Structure 1
């Protein structure tokens, strides 16, 4: 091998090494900013400490022998980890985990980080309802509280004085959830109709 050939080979190896390093750096940045979304991973009825160990979002430990609640220290999504009835929410800013003597009793969450326009809010609700339906949850009280849908009828109800609609779902005899879609007066957008979703998940009664 000539000297020039040796130099060309070294340059090729150096360029390849730089490309690999840049590729790995890009993958790392992608995971840092997009994939490693903070989450609280739990199931109703499990020990609170199990949830803390499993979750990537920081949350305070429980108070021994107390009925209380804690809030994640950052925005976080909920990953409901039941093997059959599991689902995942979008990232939430309002997120409360209630416990009773070290056992998770319920979760109250608004699966969004700000008040949303109707089309954005109903998209979240429809995705959650789709996840529940596929996992075996069923809608209850259908006559009075049917599943929410992107229809003119729902929008007309939300334009009423009540401006709030609720649906209830149940996972066998294990869990129940309530979802409410309601108006929210967002002072940052005074000329827009904004909405908040509120969910509560607990043991079935």
Structure 2
């Protein structure tokens, strides 16, 4: 039977273990702080495997000869890498990418990881719309579905649970984005107005507004 360590030695051993744990925690924090967010990098209509190999967020293969969808295995942001119409979103928890014939056929996501206060949700929406304007996206129906704005009228509309805001943007006549911002009942914050952003990319399904 080995003799028990002296009290001083036991304390040194415990202190060393705690020091090692602290160093590990600090290293992990530094790595996470400076690491890029996991991302799905894609172009609408491209081969599924091209998207998988390019993306830093893990996602399963498509199923040959079938239509379906996959979900990234972690929270991930979307990096839309089209050379002309590219844009980036914040991290998303709800994020589905559909496939057909082993190609990316549509994208549906909520570019946030939890329901947000209106000010925070508007910051994301306005940033996305600014990116689209700069890259040449155009409003599909500017009079019927105008761009969402941060003003008194829009805030009143968004606070109305029966209204919310929907706008459509398109790149030439190739593909289209639908963006929705609406009130959402968050059970974790029952006394606060929380909001969800929904973003979809796919074929043109809403025709251009007639002049």
Query: Shorter-chain TM-score: what band?
Result: 0.7 to 0.9
Identify if the C-alpha distance between structure 1 residues 34 and 96 changes in structure 2 by more than 3 Å, giving closer, same or farther: same
**Aligned residue runs from structure 1 range 1-205, under 5 A:** 30=30, 32-204=32-204
- After TM superposition, the score normalised by the length of structure 1 is 0.83
Question: What SS does the corresponding residue of 1:156 show, helix, strand or coil?
Answer: helix
Inter-partner Cα distance in structure 1 for 2:79 and 2:110: 14
Q: How many residues align?
A: 180
Native 8 Å contact 1:45 1:203 kept in 2: no
> Which consecutive unaligned segments of at least 5 residues does structure 2 have?
1-25, 206-211
Native 8 Å contact 2:126 2:149 kept in 1: yes
1:143 CA drift (Å): 0.9
1:104 CA drift (Å): 0.5
Q: Deviations over 1:28-69 (max 9, x none)?
A: 965543332100000001000100000000111111110100
Inter-partner Cα distance in structure 2 for 1:199 and 1:89: 10
CA RMSD after TM alignment: 1.7
- After TM superposition, the score normalised by the length of structure 2 is 0.81
Q: Deviations over 1:79-101 (max 9, x none)?
A: 00100000000000000000101
Question: What SS does the corresponding residue of 1:52 show, helix, strand or coil?
Answer: helix
